[in-house]
Amino acid sequence: MTLRADQGAVETLTGEPLPARAGTAYSVLFAISFCHLLNDMMQALVPAIYPLLKQTYSLDFGQIGLITLCFQMTASLLQPVVGAVTDKRPVPGSLAIGMGFTLVGLLLVSRASSFATLLMAVAMIGVGSSIFHPESSRIARLASGGRHGFAQSLFQVGGNFGTALGPLTAAFIVLPAGQSSIAWFAGVALVAMLILTRISAWYRAHQVARSKAAGPPVETGLSRNKVLLSLGILTALLFSKSFYMSSMSSYLQFYLIETFHISVASAQLYLFLFLGSVAIGTMAGGPLGDRIGRKYVIWFSILGVFPFTAALPYASLAWTGVLIVLIGLILASAFSAIVVFGQELLPGRIGMVSGLFFGLSFGIGGVGAAALGELADWTSIGTVYKLCSFLPLIGMFTVFLPNLRKR
């Protein structure tokens, strides 16, 4: 592969010439999406082995929530900072460095002998995530050819499929072989580092070509107060989505085991079913937003899922399987639309906006996991899902978002 930046052109990962204002660079999008898959698959190993960790270290639900909080808070707090810094000075090599943090974190998890070491290990994985997501989201937008929603969905769906694969790898590899087998996934991190090194070379050359051809960012024409209000609404919508998603990813296994008395392996297959539907829903949200407008996608995704979340705590095991698929499909379609909506509200601040929303998603999820864990200890897992079922009603605030499609 040769990378060129002369005469306003660079080449994709497959050697195809890419002018500074060319169409969608599919090879780059698929490569960064695949790295997102590997990254999030490795991260998803940790919550997938919660039942194993709970038994091994005699943890309560509050401590399980603290593990999630430690990981997601380190990921969330650093992401906006990384995004803001790289808006001013992009650092293409940071992608491989971030994956290196994940590699070290996995090795620590595999060898952890105490709760404190577990917290340190997941914090390292969180740092890797905070570096990876803002810059890789920026690369997806650069390679989009103007199809921003599609590119963001393709990038995000890689992460969702990786998250869905986490429970499967835990069920078929980690649980039979034990906690130490997590070290095997350091090889996956190494593969991701090699691919990200190639992507970084494309990114560096593309930045040179684009800087010669790009004009000033297109302004929305909205007042500062309207932009701030819109960002606040998007944050509330993201809170609704992420808090509910946290209840599913962290505690669905325990809910199924406690309510229907199924095995751990069976519960992980249900979790895979939910996370797989999340991946499919994510892929649909971006292209729909490009076509019909992101506001309408957000409307349908957040508020439209309420009937299914309300029915879930009262459903049989068979209907629970159906409902979690519908919830995953509908609710997941919002994230790409929210991220791109925020990027369009603040043109020229792509890294900061991406880091902010990815960071908020992780942070809200971490706080939600800790809070819901404590609530489950005080009451029951069933009570958690009854209360969380009303979160999608926050989607009514979507009515106050501006219609950027008309602008």
> Cα–Cα distance between 70 and 279 in angstroms, integer?
25
pLDDT digits (tens, 9 = 90+) for 326-365: 999 999 888 888 888 888 888 777 777 877 787 777 667 7
Q: What is the pLDDT of residues 140-183, one digit of tens each?
A: 888 888 888 888 888 888 887 887 787 788 878 887 887 888 88
Assign 3-class secondary structure to 217-277: CCCCCCCHHHHHHHHHHHHHHHHHHHHHHHHHHHHHHHHHHHHHCCCHHHHHHHHHHHHHH
More confident residue, 193 or 223: 193
pLDDT computed for residue 314 by the predictor: 94
pLDDT value for 327: 96
Helix and strand totals (H; E) in the chain: 16, 2
pLDDT digits (tens, 9 = 90+) for 300-312: 899 999 999 999 9
> In angstroms, rounded to a whole number, what is the distance separating the alpha carbons of residues 391 and 373?
17
Q: 159 burial class (0-12, 13-18, 19+ CB within 10 angstroms)?
A: buried
Per-residue confidence (pLDDT) for residue 15, from 0 to 100: 41
Choose among 34, 144, 43, 136: nearest CA to 83.
Answer: 136
pLDDT tens digits along 206-247? 765 555 444 455 556 788 899 899 999 999 999 999 889 888
Q: Which domains does the chain carry?
A: 27-400 (1.20.1250.20)
Query: Model pTM?
Result: 0.69
Mean pLDDT calculated for residue range 127-138: 86
In the predicted structure, residue 75 carries a pLDDT above the cut 70:
yes
Using the predicted structure, report yes or no on whether residue 313 has a pLDDT greater than 90: yes
By mean pLDDT, which of 90-94, 188-192, 194-198, 252-256 is the weakest? 90-94
Whole-angstrom Cα distance, residue 305 to residue 308?
A: 6
Whether pLDDT at 26 is above 60: yes
With a pLDDT cut of 90, the percent of the chain lying above it is 27
Instruction: Quote the CA–CA distance of 142 and 370 in Å, as a whole number.
Output: 36
Exposure letters 183-198 (e unless 16+ CB within 10 A, then b): eebbebbeebbebbee
Q: What is the mean pLDDT of residues 98-115?
A: 89
Examine the pLDDT at 191 and tell me if it is beyond 60: yes
DSSP secondary structure of 120-142: HHHHHHHHHHHHHHHHHHHHHHH
The arithmetic mean of pLDDT across residues 48-76, rounded, is: 79
Q: Quote the pLDDT of residue 322.
A: 96
**Confidence grade of residue 405 (pLDDT, cut at 50, 70, 90):** low
Q: Check residue 14 and give its pLDDT.
A: 39
Task: Report which secondary-structure segment, H or E, holds 10.
Answer: strand 9-11
Q: Using an 8 Å Cβ cutoff, are 206 and 38 in contact?
A: no
The most confident of the ranges 15-29, 82-96, 388-402 is: 388-402
The predicted-structure confidence for 365-387, as pLDDT tens digits, reads as follows 767 777 888 888 899 889 999 99
Distance CA 253, CA 263 (A): 9
**Mean pLDDT for the chain overall:** 82
Average pLDDT over residues 42-69: 81
CA-based radius of gyration for the chain: 21
Tokens of 267: 């519960």
At 238-291, the pLDDT tens digits run 999 988 988 898 889 889 999 999 988 888 889 889 988 887 888 887 788 878
What's residue 217's pLDDT?
Answer: 53
